[in-house]
Chains A and B, each alone.
Chain A
Amino acid sequence: MILLDRVTKVYGKGMTPALDRINLHVEPHEFVIVVGASGAGKSTLLKLLTREEKPTSGKIIVGGIDYDKLKDKDIPYLRRRIGTVFQDFKLLPNKTVFENVAFALEIVGTGKHEIRYTVPRVLDIVGLKGKEKRMPMELSGGERQRVAIARAIARQPKILIADEPTGNLDPKHAWDVIKVLQKINQYGTTVLLTTHNQEIVNKLKRRVITITDGKIASDRAQGSYKGL
């Protein structure tokens, strides 16, 4: 599903690499947690997958798409195949909850009826039934993040990338979000999650990849994380 072959990313000339010859292979339906200190390279890794950044060297293949052959005009199509959840939610402030989720479907030209059918269902999955008409400003952090997840899964992507989705949330809301991610994974979506949260990592008992100074320090099937 995801394949990285000796991927290196250097942001500026003469700087230490943010990622240094990373090799990574993620199977379909896997739930992978990427841990590491701030600046270790977690976010860079995810930005390479969504093509917000280009690797300095190395090969990336996601869902059968070879990034070397990807042209700028194809980037929107790539991003439509990957669901993305951000630490800062990135909701459209001028749109209601319903419209935010619908937006992901509108941009791919989904019909009106399908949107009316799908959006309430995904909002139900993330536990936000009945809040369709709220504006993002009127929601709590946890609710906003669940809107973002609903938006990411509305298109039923094969891969969901979540960059510190619990970073801005209190423990209770953080767990709500993690539960939603687990549920989505059960439906068959490959989930790639980065986090700082020791408790979450240890309770989930999933594959854990630890990144230190741009390198993969460990990769364990049922890993744990001691924190820093």
Chain B
Amino acid sequence: MKSLKRRLIVLERITKAGMINFVRNAWLSVAAVAVMVITLTIVLFSVIARVTFNNTIAQINDKIDVSVYLKDEVTVQQKDSLVNKIKQLGTVKSVTYVSKQQALDKYRDQNAGNADLLVAISQTDNPLPASLNVKPIDPNQMEELKNFLEKPEIKELQSNKTSYSGDRKEAIDKISHATNFLQQAGLVAVIIFTIISILIIFNTIRMAIFNRRDELNIMRLLGASTWYIRGPFVVETMLYGLIAAILSVLICGALFSLSSGTFEASTLGLLDIKFANDYFISHYWVILTGQIAVGILIGAASSFLATRRYLKFKTTK
């Protein structure tokens, strides 16, 4: 009981000492917090940019589909069997059948403003073929589907050449290669920024503790335990992390909402600012909590490691 009470007293003192140090080392605190704000903002920004970017890529991928045009003679059984065979391919997400009539309706909708075309098309039999709309799971893996559709017995059923999103195959290939590369590059960027941030923060705190190594040494000589010396430093740097995390979230939020207003919810290259802003707002609490956790963790780990060398006892004889 007494030892528990004593531990609570010690914990209270460590926390209090950390806070007092934070206030008394005001300039150092400001400098350390500033460095952490900048690095944490960059990390947060790159994470959200990556999420946004992946969303853009997903949207592009979703638009990629393959149209298989069927001859008018193809029977329902043949059609169903073909649909099943395509569905059995491992790389296909979905197959949708578009009948001749649906194709015509769609054509009419798309050309609603062009009276001449509509007149022309209604004067003949429906010239549009039925088709299968095939969506791949991954646009980068369409070889299997292609090979399947090239088979003579399958080709026989098709009226026109297979259309890869309306003959934009090359464009699709380029986009899918580019997105693949950019996705990976985004991940690498996030990792690099995180590592650089940790190094910068660690170094800042290391310098701060280096300046106070005499203090550590004095406490050691007076018989303070390792945690009694280290504790206040850890508390102090956790405070840096906490404040820096909150500031970085505020800065990021302000940047996104400002820019999404300025660019009128437009798209800046591949970075959809409106999506980024929406994502930020809808995940606000998760982002804030996560950022605080990261800030506190980096702060605590930095001071833990930085104090270690000054807390060693001499063991040489």
Interface string of B1-36 (1 = CB under 8 A from A): 000001101100100000001001100000000000
Question: Is there an interface contact between A76 and B317, defined as CB atoms closer than 8 Å?
Answer: no
Say whether, besides A109-B9, A111-B9, A54 and B317 are in contact (CB < 8 Å).
yes
Interface string of B284-314 (1 = CB under 8 A from A): 0000000000000000000000000000011
Chain A residues in 8 Å Cβ range of B219: 92, 103, 107
Contacts A92-B218, A109-B10, A111-B9 given: A72-B223 contact, CB under 8 Å?
no
Contact of B223 among A54, A77, A90, A94 (CB under 8 A): A77
Among residues of A, the one whose C-beta sits closest to the C-beta of B212 is A94
Chain A: minimal CB distance from B239 (Å)? 16
- Digitize A83-104: 1 where CB-to-B-CB distance is under 8 Å, 0 elsewhere: 0101000111110000000011
B76 within 8 A of A: no
- Chain A hits for B221, CB < 8 A: 50, 52, 79, 84, 86, 90
* A103 to B24 alpha-carbon distance, docked (Å): 17
Asked if residues A78 and B223 are in contact (CB atoms below 8 Å), the reply is: yes
In the complex, the answer to whether B315 meets A94 with C-beta atoms within 8 Å is no
Check B223–A79 contact: CB distance below 8 A: yes
With A78-B223, A107-B223: A54-B314 Cβ-Cβ less than 8 Å: yes
Q: CB distance A76 to B224 under 8 Å?
A: yes
Q: Which residues of B contact A104 (CB under 8 A)?
A: 222-223
CA distance A111 to B220 in the complex (A): 21
Question: B7 contacts which chain A residues (CB < 8 A)?
Answer: 109
Query: Is B225 touching A76 in the complex (CB atoms < 8 A)?
Result: yes
Give A56 to B315 CA distance when docked, in angstroms: 11
Contact check, A79 vs B9: say whether CB atoms are below 8 A apart: no
Binary interface encoding of chain B residues 191-225 relative to chain A, with 1 for a CB under 8 A from any of its CBs, else 0: 00000000000000000000000110111111111
How distant is the Cα of A121 from the Cα of B224 in the complex, in angstroms? 22
Which residues from A are CB-within-8-Å of B24? 94
The answer to whether the Cβ of B77 comes within 8 Å of any Cβ in the partner chain is no
Pick the most buried of B221, B222, B313: most chain A CB atoms within 10 A of its CB: B222
Q: Across the interface, do A90 and B10 meet the contact criterion of CB distance under 8 Å?
A: no
CA distance A108 to B6 in the complex (A): 9
CB within 8 Å for A107 and B21 given contacts A55-B317, A93-B215, A151-B222:
no
Q: Chain B's interface: helix, strand, loop or mixed, by majority?
A: helix
A92 to B213 alpha-carbon distance, docked (Å): 11
Q: Are B223 and A76 in contact (CB under 8 A)?
A: yes
A80 at interface (Cβ–Cβ under 8 A)?
A: yes
B228 at the interface (CB under 8 A from A): yes
Q: Which residues of A contact B25 (CB under 8 A)?
A: 94
**Cα distance, A142 to B317, chains bound together (Å):** 35
Q: Are A106 and B21 in contact (CB under 8 A)?
A: no
CB of A53 closer than 8 Å to a CB of B: yes
Interface size class of A (residues with CB under 8 A): 20 to 34
A103 lies within 8 A of B313 (CB):
no
Question: B220 contacts which chain A residues (CB < 8 A)?
Answer: 76
> Is B88 among interface residues, defined by CB-CB distance under 8 A?
no
Tell me the smallest distance from the CB of A127 to a CB of chain B, in Å: 22
Distance (Å) between the CB of B251 and the closest chain A CB?
31
> Smallest CB–CB gap between A60 and chain B, Å?
12
B123 at the interface (CB under 8 A from A): no
A56 contacts which of B9, B215, B224, B317 (Cβ < 8 Å)? B317
Smallest CB gap from B6: residue in A: A109
- Residue among A50, A53, A106 with most chain B CB within 10 A: A106
**Interface residue A139 (Cβ < 8 Å from any Cβ of B):** no
B-side contacts of A72, CB under 8 Å: 313, 315
Q: Would you call B316 an interface residue if the criterion is a C-beta within 8 Å of the partner chain's C-beta atoms?
A: yes
Tell me the chain A residues, 129-145 only, with Cβ under 8 Å from chain B: none
Instruction: Please encode chain A, from 26 to 68, with 1 for each CB lying within 8 Å of some chain B CB and 0 for all others.
Output: 0000000000000000000000001111111000000000000
B217 cross-chain contacts in A, Cβ below 8 A = 90
A109, B220: Cα distance in complex, Å: 16
Q: Which residues of B contact A108 (CB under 8 A)?
A: 223
Provide a sorted-by-A list of 16 A–B residue pairs whose CB atoms are within 8 angstroms.
A52-B314, A55-B317, A79-B222, A79-B223, A92-B218, A93-B215, A94-B21, A94-B215, A103-B219, A103-B222, A103-B224, A106-B13, A107-B228, A109-B7, A109-B9, A109-B10
Closest 7 CB pairs of A and B: A79-B223, A80-B223, A109-B6, A107-B224, A72-B313, A76-B223, A90-B218
| Apart from A72-B315, A79-B222, A108-B223: 16 A-B pairs, beta carbons within 8 A | A52-B314, A56-B317, A75-B313, A76-B223, A76-B224, A79-B223, A84-B221, A90-B214, A93-B215, A94-B24, A94-B25, A106-B13, A109-B6, A109-B7, A109-B10, A112-B9
